[in-house]
Amino acid sequence: METPSLPAMDALELWLTISILLALAAVLWWVWVTPLARLFLWLERLRSGLRSRRRHGWHYLEGGHGEPLVLLHGFNADAHHFCQSARLLRAHFRILAPDLPGFGDSALGETDSFKIEDRAAAILKWLDAMGIHQFYLGGNSMGGYLAAAMARQAPERVRALWLLAPGGLHTARLSPVLEEVAQERHNPLVVRNLKDFRRLTDYCFVRPPWIPTPLMRFLSRRIARSAVQAQRLFDAMRYDSQPLESIAKDLDTPALLIWGQADQVLHPDGAAVVENLLSDCQTLILPSIGHLPMIEDARTCSEAWIAFTESRARDSAS
């Protein structure tokens, strides 16, 4: 009986080693969720030139050079939603993107109000503590709603608004998501498990980005832990807060409004409503883009904002 040759033994050992490493990697992929998710988030910040910081009780991302640009994420999101845009914006602006209280890594205080007006005032107070007194201001969905409320409360501080499918409209046509809410079916915006998270992701994008499994599981678990407070916040925004129609009416802060034509979370017909409310508004509708245009088409959104602010700066200087 022949014994395996040395090269054959080496090949067998290599195959076994590779198999063991792949099996170990597969186990870690499914079990070692939080460390891997945090690693993916760190890599995303690294590519975007943003750093994770914590001051005055809030977690936020910061990076870039220039005049301050404060970016506010939407419902159930966090500051990482602006990482892709930051790659293009960081050469023009000093970016500050907070995790709003109750989302991401910023805890909700016991006395925090859920009303949009009060939450807008809290962001202004945090910016005061940060020493940021005049700034550009952008926001997506709930963040856009908050941005408009901040501009209403402190118009002298906000140089221009970047509104990305802002929420808070009461007179706009209902989207597929808000149709479900209106018919008192399951609220897709309140995530209670991984299935809900995947469903919401499908609603938000035309072409969903690849999200590594550990990161998807981490995000869905983190959001699910706050499902009760998320429902309270949603109800406060929809029923207890001033509608965007009241907040934005005749607001003279210059604004760039961007909306995805295929938005299923907030109907794109809302763009015409917002444009008619604001005194000075430029609108860009993006075909085949969903609710998160700064992720799905970061380049177009960022370049439009840069061109908009540069044009306004030239007009002010002339």
pLDDT at 156: 97
Task: Kindly report the backbone phi and psi dihedral angles of residue 124, in degrees, each rounded to the nearest multiple of 5, phi listed first.
Answer: -60, -40
Lowest mean pLDDT among 39-48, 104-113, 163-172, 249-258: 104-113
| pTM given for the model | 0.90
- Per-residue model confidence as pLDDT tens digits over 135-175: 999 999 999 999 999 999 999 999 999 999 999 999 999 99
pLDDT at 287: 97
Residue 44 scores a pLDDT above 60: yes
Mean pLDDT of 295-304: 98
pLDDT at 61: 98
Residue 56 scores a pLDDT above 80: yes
Structural domains in the chain, CATH included, are 33-317 (3.40.50.1820)
CA 293-297-298 angle, to 5 degrees, is 90
User: How would residue 19 be classed by pLDDT, with cut points 50, 70 and 90?
Assistant: low
User: How would residue 261 be classed by pLDDT, with cut points 50, 70 and 90?
Assistant: very high
Burial of 3-28, coded b for 16+ CB within 10 Å and e otherwise, reads eeeeeeeeeeeeeeeeeeeeeeeeee
Report which residue type is found at 159.
R
Task: Kindly report the backbone phi and psi dihedral angles of residue 138, in degrees, each rounded to the nearest multiple of 5, phi listed first.
Answer: -125, 155
Contact residues for 318 (Cβ-Cβ < 8 A; gap 6+)? none
Q: How far apart are CA 99 and CA 79, in angstroms?
A: 5
Query: In the 3-class helix/strand/coil scheme, how is the chain assigned residue by residue?
Result: CCCCCHHHHHHHHHHHHHHHHHHHHHHHHHHCHHHHHHHHHHHHHHHHCCEEEEECCEEEEEEECCEEEEEECCCCCCHHHHHHHHHHHCCCEEEEEECCCCCCCCCCCCCCCCCHHHHHHHHHHHHHHHCCCCEEEEEECHHHHHHHHHHHHCCCCEEEEEEECCCCCCCCCCCHHHHHHHCCCCCCCCCCCHHHHHHHHHHHCCCCCCCCHHHHHHHHHHHHCCHHHHHHHHHHHHHHCCCHHHHHCCCCCCEEEEEECCCCCCCCCHHHHHHHHCCCEEEEEECCCCCCHHHHCHHHHHHHHHHHHHHHHHHHHC
Mean pLDDT of 264-293: 97
Residue with tokens 């966090």, as numbered in its chain: 78
Lowest mean pLDDT among 20-34, 44-58, 230-244, 282-296: 20-34
- Per-residue model confidence as pLDDT tens digits over 76-125: 999 999 999 999 999 999 999 999 999 999 988 766 789 999 999 999 99
